[in-house]
A and B are shown apart, each in its own frame.
Chain A
């Protein structure tokens, strides 16, 4: 449960990241030009020892949010505060000490695992990045880390190509724990793993949070895992957060039609006889993310069942009136002109 007393570790304010479509010297002649708003005015905060889930379909900008927070890519606008300190414009050398505190787990199991280095070398490198540590201490700390991620000591001598998927993931987690991170941004940490191994990793991440008081930004398209992991959930659609709030509220009492569809698709997939109160009409644009011609007004309108049901109200497609996140009670925020259940 979120502890309301605890301190805010990460605050993201009006974060945007636009990718330029222009590339190369001859781009001046490129008539299509312009930018793709991969992340558009995203704001949220994360308290210590809390997990925030970030869900959405592929291409909605989840990963870009993660990379921008860790300053692996420079935001176009907005502000990122870590521990109350503005880190948006820090230089690479100013950022380096901060990397001790914030770390990322990548979707790719091999990220950070140099295939030509042994596990012991990988851990040693991580342990000694930010401080001088004697070899004996490295040895002790490596073993401690392996204990924390439930790996056998014998794996120290292995190369990453000799490890299974689950073991690679554990070494990856040990590597980020080695620097002593307090905030972990986990980008689809389980999606490359088998079902039985997924459960191990989810449990491991939860246990580590309890033991070490870590904070997670947990990004996944697997709604059930997000529900299990997170205290709060934010739902992204085409670069914007459309709904955000406590997990129970977002999953159980969704107010945005998109959130509702996401979670009902889960129920549908599980039950043989699906019960679905709103039948979503199939449309030509279904599933196609069209950044080139973004919908005017509400981005979700072309796919939105409520928009259809209400006879296509003008507000939804009014370019000057894009829905903004607003509170609907208890910190539950929705960006919709006609939230469900009202």
Chain B
């Protein structure tokens, strides 16, 4: 494969919990790649850092200290750059015991530099759709006008009429019935599913190279979810857009992704081709991925009326990350030989098959 479109390396985004005087390590060393024309699914539970990763790519992190390290290389036909280029100059870290203890950050300088780097990127090169489409649309402007505005802003089409036609074209592409009529609808007059379609139309109207879809189906009804997934699938085939798809819903990830990254406690624990990673039968799996797949009800379990295989324990907070493997406390695959290492040392991502990496001591040596 040629150069990946998006290459995130060792991204670290922290927040500060004033009440506890400690860092929340929301994203703690995430590395991933999104290739050209590829859909990469990011799965994880709440607090795993999946949404924060996406927000960091978009430069939308507010609140301190925020993004404090790593690089995000972006390389489309038009733009090649590191979205965090030189930003480390504004941040000073003091580490001890392998973890960050003090962060000094020139926030206004960082913000300005980041804005400079992101200029012309947001909306134009990288577009994003969110979980709650109605909240992301302006309720007082018609859907069509909002898309027209996006077209004029990003596509270099300044003529209103032409931009309008483009907007209608995109409403049609996302399969909104009678797009000319719907052009004049306000978001409040449309269902959740239709608002999400309009959001997708707006995101794609500027023909970005990368689409970040943050929980695009969450909160929609089952029948609508399925339609949105269908639509994303079709648009992906038609336009060949690269997508970073974030979801906690494994079935959505399964339908759409070429490659999948599983996030746990702010780090990627498994990264590989969707077909291998999401196949419950295939070997070489991180215990967390295996448990996650097993905890979803499937037809066999329903038929057998068996209990689900729950992952014991709670989703960890990322304030008190243990020194060893972050899944240690909930893991059911620890063997006596590796127990000491699991408890004490955070494992590295390790190749278990070509292009398939797992962060687990079971696969190291």
What is A's interface to B at a CB cutoff of 8 Å? Answer: 57-58, 164-167, 194-200, 202-203, 206-207, 221, 223-225, 227-228, 251, 261-262, 265-266, 268-272, 282-284, 286-289
Contact = CB atoms under 8 A, between A and B. Distances in A.
A173 to B, nearest CB: 15
A266 B222 contact: yes
Given A197-B45, A282-B177, A287-B194, 14 more contacts: A57-B223, A165-B315, A194-B45, A200-B310, A221-B221, A227-B297, A262-B222, A262-B223, A265-B226, A270-B255, A272-B254, A286-B177, A286-B191, A286-B227
A282 B175 CA distance: 9
Contact of A224 (B227, B292, B302): B302
Interface in B190-233: 190-194, 221-227, 229-230
Contacts of A266: 222, 226
B295 A265 contact: no
Given A224-B302, A287-B194, A203 B307 contact: yes
B326 to A, nearest CB: 14
Contacts of A286: 177, 191, 193, 227
A199 B295 contact: yes
B230 to A, nearest CB: 7
Contacts of A198: 295
Contacts of B227: 265, 282, 286
B7 interface: no
Nearest to A280: B223
B305 interface: yes
A57 B222 contact: yes
Interface string B90-115: 00000000000000000000000000
Nearest to B190: A288
Given A194-B315, A203-B307, A287-B193, A269 B252 contact: yes
A123 to B, nearest CB: 20
A264 B307 CA distance: 24
A195 B250 contact: yes
B335 interface: no
Interface string B237-277: 00000000000101110110000000000000000000000
Contacts of B226: 265-266, 268-269
Nearest to B224: A287
21 contacts: A164-B314, A166-B315, A194-B46, A194-B315, A195-B295, A197-B314, A198-B295, A199-B295, A199-B310, A200-B311, A200-B312, A203-B310, A224-B298, A227-B297, A228-B305, A265-B222, A265-B223, A266-B226, A269-B226, A287-B221, A289-B191
A276 to B, nearest CB: 10
B17 interface: no
Contacts of B250: 195
A196 B291 contact: yes
B175 A269 contact: no
